């Protein structure tokens, strides 16, 4: 019921920047969390950053100070500004959208198609 379209991935050198975008359409909830997970080859998928409808933000420790998540409510879009990229950031990044109940629990989960981020010299 929710479609997520990602863009912004690519190949960059260490220290450079990328900005990911994720636009949501369909049955948009008034209570949600939206953000990105990533999965590197041979590794489990991990949360990178997300933001709730109430404005709460969280980041995984490895990206704090380098990545910034933001939201444009009018466009139902979230952005992930990724600065000072490292080779360790190389992964497929998946946009994630979660319906939340009033207690903050996830009741529906949707995934984008994934976008490849490669950081290499």
The whole-number pLDDT of residue 73 equals: 85
The yes-or-no verdict on residue 77 having pLDDT over 80 is yes
SS (H, E, C) 20-37: EEEEEEECCCCCEEEEEE
CA angle (14, 18, 20) in 5-degree steps: 140
Q: Of the ranges 3-12, 42-51, 72-81, which one carries the lowest mean pLDDT score?
A: 72-81
Would you state the structure tokens that stand for residue 96, as one six-digit string?
Answer: 């994630």
Task: Report pLDDT for 109.
Answer: 94
| pLDDT the model gives residue 91 | 98
pLDDT band (50, 70, 90) for residue 83: very high
pLDDT class of 28 with cuts at 50, 70, 90: confident
């Amino acid at each position: 019921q929710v479609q997520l379209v990602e863009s912004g991935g690519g190949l960059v050198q260490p220290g450079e920047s990328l900005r990911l975008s994720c636009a949501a359409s369909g049955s948009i909830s008034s209570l949600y969390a939206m953000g990105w997970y990533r999965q590197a080859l041979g590794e489990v998928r991990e949360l990178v950053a997300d933001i709730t409808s109430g404005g709460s933000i969280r980041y995984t420790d490895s990206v704090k100070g380098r990545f910034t998540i933001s939201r444009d409510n009018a466009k139902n879009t979230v952005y992930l500004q990724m600065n000072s990229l490292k080779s360790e950031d190389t992964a497929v990044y998946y946009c994630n959208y979660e319906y939340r109940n009033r207690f903050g629990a996830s009741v529906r989960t949707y995934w984008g198609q994934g976008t490849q981020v490669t950081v290499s010299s």
